[in-house]
Amino acid sequence: MDAKLKYRAKKIKIVFFDIDDTLRVKNTGFMPESVKQVFKSLKEKGILTGIATGRGLYGVVPEIRELQPDYFVTLNGAYVEDKKERIIHQHHFSKELVEDCISWAKEQGLDYGFAGSHQAALAQRSPAISQAIDIVYPGLPLNPDFYQEQEVYQMWTFESPDRQVNHLPENLADQLRLVRWHPISCDLVPQLGSKAAGVAKVLEELGLKPENLLVFGDQVNDLELFDYAGISIAMEVSHEEIKQKADYVTKKVEEDGIFHALEELGMVEKEVNFPQVNLADQEGPRVKLKTNLGSLNLKLFPEQAPKTVANFLALAKDGYYDGVIFHRIIKDFMIQGGDPTGTGMGGESIYGQKFEDEFSAELYNIRGALSMANAGPNTNGSQFFIVQNSQLPYSAKELERGGWPAPIAKLYAEQGGTPHLDRRHTVFGQLADEASYQVLDKIAGVETGAMDKPVEDVVIEGIEVIEE
């Protein structure tokens, strides 16, 4: 992403999102969990959020409302309210204009419908109309007299599949325009009406400028909004005109496109999970590493270190570690094993060669951590160690100042570990219970000789894999 665009992102104070194929997949209703994180992160940063949609409020599905956006610009900008249901702006058709639209539609052989601020209705229904409209507004009632009872903010036209109408007669064109949203349907909206006009009313109320606005969209009813906003981002599936106007084209909804774009702009960060902090809540594979001095129960972290965990589990299942000794033990530091030669010079991975480090911002060399031994960057094989040190000369605040996350700094200060090994050795597991720590300390306390090798062998008798 362009550095200038990232700089412009520092001025953003409000973000507006289209719904269909932007926040969620229109045809399936799928909305990724990352969207929830986006809204939460923006709120924490003091950045306002809004929905800018061609839908009416009655078409804003529950999962979108649950995101608790600050503003709703609906019906292509014709009706705007805030999260407290306070009306910011509204612009409806005159009854005479609606009647002129109906007359024109009948002359053209078009079916039509009406959108009010809080209700909508169809004048006619057919299988083709149902297929187009029900995915947005399921089960709309039939009421050709809707405009006699309710104010109309927008109308729809419905064509036959083999005939499109893209122009209005002069008596309508000076007030209205057609905005296509479906192969057989257009929105009839005010000539000066658009999502941009509605969003502008919000910015006016907030005292903000267009340069403070970032928008996401995908269809031609977002064109004016893309022209207006300080930064515009198109989804990968967007109409070509939208892509051409966009400052940046992001990934699809299913690929966390919104999160990806905002992360690139430095406006959101991935929610960090520290599995070692809440170990009891972590699901996934476990192993029981049986030694002649007792068993070590470990939880593994395949999400953060997939290749390393796969290597360890495969070797364990093949019996690769059976009978192998802990060849290097240093009390108040760690115990190291996994080399069939027992020298610290051997061992191979399942990949047939040394493999790369998998450093994660979520895992650290706290006491009880299972880490890969190596001979430098990206030289992982079969050897591993378990951190045993229980004392650190640093406080949690000192570690935080050094760059460690607060929850990890607290663990280090309370339990010990080897923070100097972070980003040098891949952490991929953690001791799971107090009994295992007692065995760890027992192993670390054995008598050692030259090269920190135990005088009497500490042997891995076998590793039982318990996959969940």
Q: Which residue is listed with tokens 């995101």?
A: 67
Does pLDDT of 181 surpass 90?
Answer: no
Q: Which residue is listed with tokens 């209703």?
A: 29
Percentage of residues in the chain with pLDDT exceeding 90?
Answer: 89
Does pLDDT of 409 surpass 70?
Answer: yes
pLDDT tens digits, residue range 230-248?
999 999 999 999 999 999 9
Answer CATH for 95-190 from 3.40.50.300, 3.30.365.10, 3.20.20.100, 3.30.1240.10: 3.30.1240.10
Does pLDDT of 160 surpass 90?
Answer: no
pLDDT tens digits, residue range 106-148?
999 999 999 999 999 999 999 999 999 998 899 999 999 999 9
Does pLDDT of 104 surpass 80?
Answer: yes
Answer CATH for 279-466 from 3.20.20.100, 2.40.100.10, 1.10.1040.10, 3.30.1310.10: 2.40.100.10
Does pLDDT of 1 surpass 80?
Answer: no
Q: Under a CB-based contact definition with an 8 Å cutoff, are residues 279 and 298 in contact? A: no
**Adjacent-strand bridge partners of 332:** none
Q: What's the confidence (pLDDT) of residue 468?
A: 60
Which candidate, 440, 289, 421, 321, places its Cα nearest to that of 363? 421
pLDDT tens digits, residue range 278-292?
999 888 999 999 999
Residue 153 has which token pair?
A: 């903010």
Q: What is the DSSP secondary-structure string of 111-142?
A: EEEEE-SS-EEES---HHHHHHHTTTSTTPPB
Q: Which residue is listed with tokens 């959101």?
A: 268
Determine the topology of domain 3-91+193-264 in CATH.
Rossmann fold (3.40.50)
Contact residues for 419 (Cβ-Cβ < 8 A; gap 6+): 364, 365, 392, 394, 399, 402, 404, 412
Range with the lowest mean pLDDT among 229-238, 265-274, 389-398, 441-450?
265-274
pLDDT tens digits, residue range 372-389?
999 999 999 999 999 999
Q: What's the confidence (pLDDT) of residue 126?
A: 93
Q: Which helix (H) or strand (E) holds 248?
A: strand 248-249
Let me know if 457 is a catalytic residue.
no
Catalytic: which of 18, 218, 222, 256?
18
Find the distance separating the first CA and the last CA of the chain, reported in whole Å: 40
Apex CA 229: angle with CA 226 and CA 235, to 5°?
45
| CA 449/CA 455 separation, integer angstroms | 6
Q: What is the DSSP secondary-structure string of 389-423?
A: ----S--HHHHHHTT--HHHHHHHHHH-B-GGGTT
pLDDT tens digits, residue range 302-315?
999 999 999 999 99
Q: What's the confidence (pLDDT) of residue 410?
A: 95
* DSSP assignment letter at 19: S
| CA 29/CA 306 separation, integer angstroms | 30
Burial class of residue 96 in the structure, from the number of CB atoms within 10 Å of its CB (0-12 exposed, 13-18 middle, 19+ buried):
exposed
Query: What's the predicted TM-score (pTM) here?
Result: 0.63
Residues 12-30 have a mean pLDDT of 94
| CA 459/CA 1 separation, integer angstroms | 52
| CA 296/CA 432 separation, integer angstroms | 8
Largest CA distance in the chain: 100
Q: Where are the domains of the chain?
A: 3-91+193-264, 95-190, 279-466
Confidence bin at 166 (pLDDT 50/70/90): confident
